[in-house]
Amino acid sequence: MVVLTEAKLRALAGARSFERGRGYVDAVSGIEVGDDWVRASVRGTERYEAELSLGGPRGLTGECDCPYGQEGNFCKHLVALGLTMMTRKADLPRQRRTARARARALDAWLSDLSREELLALVRDEIAEDRNVRRRLELRAASAEGDLAALRSRLHELFDIGPFAAYGYVEYADARAYADQAGQAVSAIRALAHSDRAAGAVILAREAIGLLATAAESVDDSDGRLGQIGTDLAAAHHDACRAARPDPEELAHWLVTHAVDDAADLTDLDPLDYEDVLGERGMDALRRHAVLAWQAHRTGWAEKNLMQRLTKAGRDVDTVIAVHTADLAPNGHTHLLIARELDTAGRSAEALEWAERGLRDTADLASVDTALVDHLTDRYARAGRLTDAVTLRRDHFTARRTLLTYRQLRAAAEAAGCWPAERQRALALLSTDTGRDLRARRGPVLVDALLDDEDIDAAWRAATEFGAHDAQWRTLADRTRATHPAEALSVYLRLAEPLTHQTGNRAYEELVALLLGIRACHHHLGTPDDFTAYVTALRATQKRKRNLMRLMDEHGL
């Protein structure tokens, strides 16, 4: 048996859950000890059942029905139970011996009972515990292969009535409902592994439908119904493997389910059934998927299923047909088609689709920029440099930004025609500067000239057309050595409003400007003027301790 230690619990739970588990030690109650397990209730936001397995090939493991535990994690409740048992480790061997003795005594007692006495015992339990009765009824119906009885019981298990006071199962009752609904999985699994697997296929489908209907009226915040759905899908797959239903009929059901809302609850994937469908069934699956898609070409589930099926079968033309049915107005879908064709080695067709994407885009300003990048790259690789420049020029004309300017420059430099293209582009930006202030970046013309390292032209453009403060700051930073007087006027203008602000960010910006002001006075040969400016500033700003500290750190 595994020896419990804090190190083992911490390793399984992680530092955070381990530390949180310490706070739940006092919430552990109702401890039961078995031969190689320990279980108890742990009170959290509600009461949870936690169980530690102390033996077996995997060593120490644990299960808890809290949301975190149900995801397969070693939760804080399991940590609390483990820590509690560590305080009782001296008594644990005796408790295990007692548990084994109780189990042997119970087994011996049951073995000594006559058939009539056993029946009486079971009937008493059935009368007192309806869950026991339901489980046994399901087992009896499964053993007899009574599909009508099983179907009736399934409807009872998925009925939300007993748990919904106002037609909706609230969170507090959702667990009890899920426990009841989960009994259906066991019954269907038992039937799937019998000689009546065909019946299990039918009942699994019905159960999935009943669960989907019920889920609309249940607060499944903890995801318990989703797990039941996944388990039902697995039971259906197992039943199909055993029963080998008609491939055509199975394919039709799989497609119908995949495009239904219930698919989200079961996560059932038709492509997982290839081992059951065989070649004939997979052909039928593709055929029914096409029919579903043709009936609802813009449906996400239909398109997704079609794309996955066609890619699995390497059917590029069908993938293209799916995309063609719903072409995006900005050329994005054309680009996807072009990439598929490129992958298939059909480069000429890929280029045609990419160029069609540009033609079909009503406004080049709204085109998917990735499509423009794709086409430009194709033109460049084919040596069509003039076409690459034309495309970048058209895109820049429609969407005048610093990025499109840079892209035009790169294409034109590669083609050896940048001076002429630059002149045209700057002329266009010069007529456009007023509207470009809307982006809070000032004229794109100033950005473009700065990016070209044409500082004098950028300064003239900023003076003539206006610029954003950040652009003026950049201009001042780049010209303070050559034009210190002009740069100084910019720094002083930008610094003045910051003296009326508080906060570390404003202080850092102000200090950066002060360093620029100091540099300008240095180049002008007027350091005394800077000293007078800083002295006056300190006198008015002395209450701002963080600003004073920053100025001291920078020798201001």
* Residue where a domain terminates, one of 112, 136, 158: 112
Intervals of the chain under pLDDT 50: 436-441
Give a yes or no: residue 315 inside a domain.
no
Instruction: Please answer whether residues 236 and 204 qualify as being in contact, where contact means their C-beta atoms are separated by less than 8 angstroms.
Output: yes
Give a yes or no: residue 39 inside a domain.
yes
Between CA 502 and CA 480 the distance in angstroms is 27
* Residue where a domain terminates, one of 71, 86, 112: 112
Give a yes or no: residue 286 inside a domain.
no
**Per the structure, how many domains does the chain have?**
2
3-state percent breakdown (helix, strand, coil) of the chain, nearest 5: 70, 5, 25
> What per-residue confidence (pLDDT) applies to 441?
47
Give a yes or no: residue 173 inside a domain.
no
> What per-residue confidence (pLDDT) applies to 442?
56
Between CA 38 and CA 52 the distance in angstroms is 5
> What per-residue confidence (pLDDT) applies to 143?
66
| Angle (CA) 100 103 109, round 5° | 140
pLDDT in tens, 365-396: 899 999 999 999 999 999 999 999 999 999 99
Give a yes or no: residue 455 inside a domain.
no
* Residue where a domain terminates, one of 112, 129, 148: 112
Give a yes or no: residue 44 inside a domain.
yes
160's tokens: 């939300």
Give a yes or no: residue 346 inside a domain.
no
> What per-residue confidence (pLDDT) applies to 433?
60
50's tokens: 């936690």
Percent of the chain at pLDDT exceeding 70: 95
Between CA 359 and CA 344 the distance in angstroms is 24
Per the document, the length of the chain is: 556
Instruction: Please answer whether residues 160 and 214 qualify as being in contact, where contact means their C-beta atoms are separated by less than 8 angstroms.
Output: yes
The model carries a pTM of 0.53
> What per-residue confidence (pLDDT) applies to 466?
84
Instruction: Please answer whether residues 292 and 252 qualify as being in contact, where contact means their C-beta atoms are separated by less than 8 angstroms.
Output: no
Buried b (16+ CB within 10 A) or exposed e, 45-79: eeebebbbbbeeeeebbbbbbbebbbeebbbbbbb
> What per-residue confidence (pLDDT) applies to 166?
82
Domain of residue 61, residue span: 6-112
Give a yes or no: residue 519 inside a domain.
yes
Between CA 552 and CA 146 the distance in angstroms is 89
Quickly list DSSP for 479-541: HTTTSHHHHHHHHHHHHHHHTT--SHHHHHHHHHHHHHHHHHHHHHT-HHHHHHHHHHHHHHH
Instruction: Please answer whether residues 228 and 240 qualify as being in contact, where contact means their C-beta atoms are separated by less than 8 angstroms.
Output: no
Between CA 126 and CA 114 the distance in angstroms is 18
